[in-house]
Amino acid sequence: MGGRGGDREIHEAALLESPLIQNRDHEHERNDGGGGEKCSLGSARRGDESRAIIFEEVKKQAWLSGPLIGVCLLQYCIQVISVMFVGHLGELPLSGASMATSFASVTGFSVLLGMGSALETLCGQAYGAKQYHMLGVYTQRAMLTLLCVSIPLAVVWLYTSDILRAFGQDAEISTEAGIFNRWMIPSLFAYGLLICLNRFLQTQNNVLPMMLGSLVTASLHMVFCWLFIFKLGLGTRGAALANTISNWNNVILLAIYVKFSPTCIKTWTGFTTEALHDIVSFVKLAVPSATMICFEYWSFEMVVLLSGLLPNPKLETSVLSISLNTCWMVYMISVGLGGTISTRVSNELGAGHAAGARLALRVMIVIAVTEGAIIGIVTILVRYVWGKLYSNEEEVIEYVAKMMPLLALSDFLDGFQCVLSGSARGCGWQNLCAWINFGAYYGVAIPCAILFAFGFHIGGMGLWMGIICGLSVQVMALITVNACTNWNQEAKKAVDRAEAVTSTF
């Protein structure tokens, strides 16, 4: 990326074009009547150097994806830990906290996550183009935008109980959920800042501080939950307060690192009025980025809501909730891989290395297929015991065992689409992906889920089969887009974007 010399870049691009694309040199060597020994030695040398470049790319992705997966899992654990603690208070507090968490994810966290993901394109390409100061400018611009967006989202959270009752939810559960989300409103603003800081560090391949900050936060979060929920007797309010403090704690830790670490001297030069300029262009990328992610997240939540309309709603909802929790847990691994490829592709395109971006995607596809196959096999192997972790009811355990093969397939497809979507974010294709996700989930997944569950009377398994249909369409569309990509053209677009920024300032 940033520190390689010009000769090294030219040599690397030439090597990448040889074994991974279509090498015309091989034809020349085969047609060369003399000098066979020299050609063989040259071919072997090029092969060794090409393997070295591929190994170097694998190493870069491993160093990125490991901490990123850890960050995703640890930050996901914050809400899970809170709900687990609340579960010891009784059935009503647990139902209220679960409902509140789901509502918060749909109406708040997914929106901010999506908008903040626009930084994967902007900061990633700026870092590859060596426009280091622009990472700080883009991040500050995103922070300002997300803080403003958090205000109307906070109003929605303020009326959580009224909204849930309007949608026909139980009055007592709605009231508990409303209390939980009102106490969690400050967490909304912290989450927006946290997403921006995460993307700021991620796109410059500085992920270890993120993992350490998340680890400290998750460890302290358990102490906060115990203190507020049981020791101080705040109950559900205590869980929400613990979430708020933990998210702000994570923000403060990362902010201190960014401010004082020598690794961020070039990329964070302090607050600047440049961040107030051209906010509209950021919003134009952030809105489709949020739409892209929300379309996907909302469809999974909708499946759980549809399960309440099935003949045995208590059983179906329980099993679908277990399935969704399992899916989200595995999904965090895929999110880490998606973040990795987004960073690598955006960095390489920003530097004008089309072949490097293509190589990064191909290496990550191999990693994703391997990870998906392992996860799928493990999911199937534990199908008879997984339900016992959530319930003592034999009916629930047996139903979960039937669902697990479907979960294995959906996890595999989800991991694959996460990587392809990450590559798309690195290129800046959020608009296109938003339409793909809309068509896949709302044109295929939800209609198929309704047809299988209510038309063919397959029940909860039918709902999940609908999701698999949507995932299949999404994956095929993303494969087609990536296969038809002109990487040289994408690199030129990234370089032109960088030059346009330079001419502006």
Q: Are residues 419 and 476 in the same domain?
A: yes
pLDDT at 38: 57
Q: Are residues 185 and 272 in the same domain?
A: yes
Categorize the per-residue pLDDT at 35 as very low, low, confident or very high, splitting at 50, 70 and 90: low
Cα 287 to Cα 19, 117, 143, 200, 201, distances in angstroms: 39, 10, 14, 19, 22
Judge whether 186 and 45 are in contact, CB under 8 Å: no
H or E segment to which residue 488 belongs: helix 487-504
Phi/psi for 269 (5° steps) reads -105, 20
Non-local CB neighbours of 121 within 8 Å, separated by 6+ positions = 285, 342, 346, 425, 426, 427, 428, 430
Report pTM: 0.84
Q: Are residues 384 and 266 in the same domain?
A: no
Q: Are residues 296 and 269 in the same domain?
A: no
Q: Taking 70 as the threshold, does the pLDDT of residue 14 lie above it?
A: no
Domain contains 411: yes
Higher-confidence position of 497 and 218: 218
Q: Are residues 369 and 247 in the same domain?
A: no
Number of structural domains (the chain) is 2
Cα 305 to Cα 184, 301, 308, 310, 360, distances in angstroms: 23, 7, 6, 10, 39
Taking the CA atoms of residue 374, residue 375, residue 377 and residue 380 in that order, the dihedral angle to the nearest 10 degrees is: 170
Domain contains 120: yes
Residues 54 and 50: their CA atoms lie apart, in Å, by 6
pLDDT at 322: 82
Domain boundary among 258, 277, 296: 277
Q: Are residues 435 and 351 in the same domain?
A: yes
Non-local CB neighbours of 71 within 8 Å, separated by 6+ positions = 198, 207, 210, 211, 214, 336
Phi/psi for 484 (5° steps) reads -95, 5
Categorize the per-residue pLDDT at 87 as very low, low, confident or very high, splitting at 50, 70 and 90: confident
DSSP designation for 139 = H
pLDDT at 309: 79
Neighbours of 52 (CB within 10 A): 11
Backbone torsion region of residue 141, taken as left when φ is above 0, otherwise alpha when ψ lies between -120 and 50, otherwise beta? alpha
Domain contains 180: yes
Q: Taking 50 as the threshold, does the pLDDT of residue 10 lie above it?
A: no
Phi/psi for 285 (5° steps) reads -90, -35
Q: Are residues 359 and 265 in the same domain?
A: no
3-class secondary structure, 269? coil
Q: Are residues 270 and 353 in the same domain?
A: no
Domain contains 155: yes
Q: Are residues 486 and 415 in the same domain?
A: yes
Categorize the per-residue pLDDT at 5 as very low, low, confident or very high, splitting at 50, 70 and 90: very low
Domain contains 53: no
Residues 188 and 392: their CA atoms lie apart, in Å, by 35
Mean pLDDT of 167-193: 90
103-150 pLDDT tens trace: 898 899 999 999 999 999 999 999 999 999 999 999 999 999 999 999
Domain contains 52: no
Residues 290 and 98: their CA atoms lie apart, in Å, by 23
Domain boundary among 277, 296, 320: 277
Q: Are residues 343 and 263 in the same domain?
A: no
pLDDT at 302: 84
Q: Are residues 203 and 292 in the same domain?
A: no
Q: Are residues 295 and 224 in the same domain?
A: no
Which range marks the domain in which residue 256 is found? 62-277
Residues 365 and 56: their CA atoms lie apart, in Å, by 16
Residues 8 and 32: their CA atoms lie apart, in Å, by 28
Q: What average pLDDT does the structure give for the chain? A: 86
Domain boundary among 242, 277, 312: 277
Neighbours of 302 (CB within 10 A): 18
pLDDT at 440: 95
401-442 pLDDT tens trace: 999 999 999 999 988 899 999 999 999 999 999 999 999 999
The sign of the CA dihedral 426, 430, 434, 440 is: negative
Domain contains 22: no
Q: Taking 70 as the threshold, does the pLDDT of residue 360 lie above it?
A: yes
Domain contains 502: yes
193-244 pLDDT tens trace: 999 999 999 999 999 999 999 999 999 999 999 999 998 988 889 999 999 9
